[in-house]
Amino acid sequence: MTGAAHGLGRAIAERLASDGCSVLIADVQRDDAHRTAEEIRARGGQATPLALDVSNEAAVTAAYADIDARFGRLDILVNNAGISGERAPVESMSRSAFDTTVRINLTSTFLMSRGAIALMRRNRWGRIVNMSSLSARGVPGRNRSNYVASKAGILGFSRVLADEVGRDGITVNCVAPSRIVTALTIAMAAGNNEYFERGAAETVVGRIGEPVDVAHAVAWLCSDGASVVTGATLDVNGGTSMI
């Protein structure tokens, strides 16, 4: 899975490893990927670090060739790598800021998914889970056109891919979290508890999510129990939005 060294990605990797999966910790931050893999192995799980820039087509192609040579199969792909990107109104956002966010969030999902299909098709079984966002589900927020466009694009892309590969035994779904307590959001809050209090107040369950909440959702979509669920979006937002 991608973006697996920290935050949501790490929680998902830990959950899948606890379910018996052999997990590839793919992340652009090489040292952190190694550290996360080591800690999963220390708890009895199977994990291998993979330094990877998911937005680089040549790097993705080389990574899949390596996965094929070393493991000979791929059953699950979780496209979690992404950035929030620069915030600015459309009229003042630079082309570079828009393109960078779309490339890292959306284009990487395309590249990774495209590479996974052939390996999954061999065994006529596969699970692709793409990380979208509440922002793409009707609560976008201002000054985030680059981020929202990339996350909404993931929803549309996933539906098309689900239609294309369903008869190959491959399902494709999205998870759309709202505000989650991670190191990144804690840093964004910068000590302002109102950031989290406001997020909790917007839910109907009275709290915002933890990374493990997202991990449970992803794990279910990867299970045999979700074998007829495809082209769907699972919202993990505490009822902030119900659509």
Instruction: Per-residue pLDDT tens, the chain, 243 aa: give them.
Output: 999 999 999 999 999 999 999 999 999 999 999 999 999 999 999 999 999 999 999 999 999 999 999 999 999 999 999 998 999 999 999 999 999 999 999 999 999 999 999 999 999 999 999 999 999 998 777 899 999 999 999 999 999 999 999 999 999 999 999 888 887 777 767 777 787 888 888 889 988 889 999 999 999 999 999 999 999 999 999 888 887
Contacts of 83 (CB under 8 A, 6+ apart): 100, 101, 104, 105
List the alpha helices (DSSP H) in the chain. 7-18, 30-42, 57-71, 95-102, 108-122, 145-165, 183-189, 194-201, 211-221
- Segments making up each domain of the chain, as ranges: 7-236
**pLDDT at 195 (0 to 100):** 77
- Transcribe 32-65 into DSSP letters: HHHHHHHHHHHTT-EEEEEE--TT-HHHHHHHHH
Asked if 206 and 162 touch (Cβ cutoff 8 Å), the reply is no
Residue 200: partners with Cβ closer than 8 Å, 6 or more residues away: 206, 207, 208, 238
CA end-to-end span of the chain: 28
- At residue 145, φ and ψ (nearest 5 deg) are -60, -35
The structure tokens listed for 116 are 């996974």
- Tokens found for residue 141: 């927020």
Which one, of 188, 234, 6, lies nearest residue 85 by Cα? 188
For residue 20, the model assigns a pLDDT of 97
Please give the pLDDT value at position 188. Answer: 67
Q: Are 106 and 158 in contact (CB under 8 A)?
A: no
Distance CA 52, CA 60 (A): 7
Residue 12 · residue 20 · CB < 8 Å = no
Determine whether domain 7-236 maps to CATH 3.30.200.20.
Answer: no
Pull the structure tokens for residue 209. Answer: 């999510």
Which residues are tagged catalytic? 147
What pLDDT shows up at residue 196?
Answer: 81
Q: Which two tokens stand for residue 127?
A: 């699970």
